[in-house]
Amino acid sequence: MTHPILISPSILSADFARLGEEVRAIDEAGCDWIHIDVMDGHFVPNITIGPAVVKALRPHSQKPFDVHLMISPVDPYLDAFVQAGADIITVHPEAGPHIHRTVQHIKSLGVKAGVVLNPGTPAKMLDYLIDDVDLILVMSVNPGFGGQSFIENQLRKIEAIRKMIDKSGRDIRLQVDGGIDLNTAPRAIAAGADVLVAGTATFRGGQSTYADNIRQLRGG
């Protein structure tokens, strides 16, 4: 199944003092999804935003909110993020005791469910999840911060997961997150990714550059 390439800017690199305006700006600049990085200072060494901020941002765009949860335990917070306006929720298998149950729970809330693999987590982890997920996210940096360098060997993992998805015959998006720029984006796409998360590469240069940045990342 071939999908168009989607761009999901990570608002981690936006101006947090003007977050609503920044979300409107990337929406108007032509992004496809809006990637929201939720960090708890426990699962990852950084703290960002919670459901109240997601709810406050919701009126600023109708595009899908792609919520990447880097919190542990993750299960107690799923309902709150859906109520706040998440459309897609991605979870790390290490963030709770029963990843299959977590995926089922997300889907029961009526939103799309994704599983995220850290750089050190093998593709094999997906063997018994691929029948249920809507999205698989390959982290090409260790989670916690924007602006890190792309870890090259994750291209091999993207290739392996692309084969797994194609073999499954299911409609699953393959997303890559971390260090995506004009050099790494085409290589991630060639390896099989079809959703690119980009924080630094979207927001650099200020609002007047967002549309160009997004278009170039898409390969246009």
Ligand X SMILES: O=C(CO)[C@H](O)[C@H](O)COP(=O)(O)O
177 annotated to a ligand binding site: yes
CB of 131 to ligand X, least distance (A): 25
Instruction: Choose one: 47-55, 76-84, 102-110, 145-153; the region binding ligand X (CB under 6 A).
Output: 145-153
**According to the binding rule CB under 6 A, does residue 12 interact with ligand X?**
yes
For Fe ion, the binding residue among 51, 177, 196, 202 (CB under 5 A) is 177
For ligand X, the binding residue among 25, 199, 210, 214 (CB under 6 A) is 199
Going by their DSSP bridges, the two strands 6-9 and 195-198 should be labelled as: parallel
Site for ligand X in 156-195 (CB under 6 A): 177-180
For ligand X, the binding residue among 7, 91, 141, 161 (CB under 6 A) is 141
Distances (CA, A) of 42 to 5, 79, 112, 141, 164: 33, 20, 25, 17, 32
Out of Fe ion, ligand X, none, which partner does residue 180 contact, by CB within 5 to 8 A per kind? ligand X
| Minimal CB distance residue for ligand X | 199
145 annotated to a ligand binding site: yes
The residue type at 17: A
**Contacts (Cβ under 8 Å, ≥6 apart) of 133:** 103, 113, 114, 115, 126, 172
Alpha helix positions (H), the chain: 19-28, 51-57, 78-84, 99-108, 154-168, 184-191, 200-203, 210-218
CB of 196 to ligand X, least distance (A): 9
**According to the binding rule CB under 6 A, does residue 51 interact with ligand X?**
no
What are the residue numbers of the active site?
37, 177
41 annotated to a ligand binding site: no
**Contacts (Cβ under 8 Å, ≥6 apart) of 46:** 39, 144, 145
Q: How far apart are CA 121 and CA 178, in angstroms?
A: 15
The residue ranges that bind ligand X (CB under 6 A) are 10, 12-13, 35, 37, 68, 141, 143-148, 177-180, 197-201
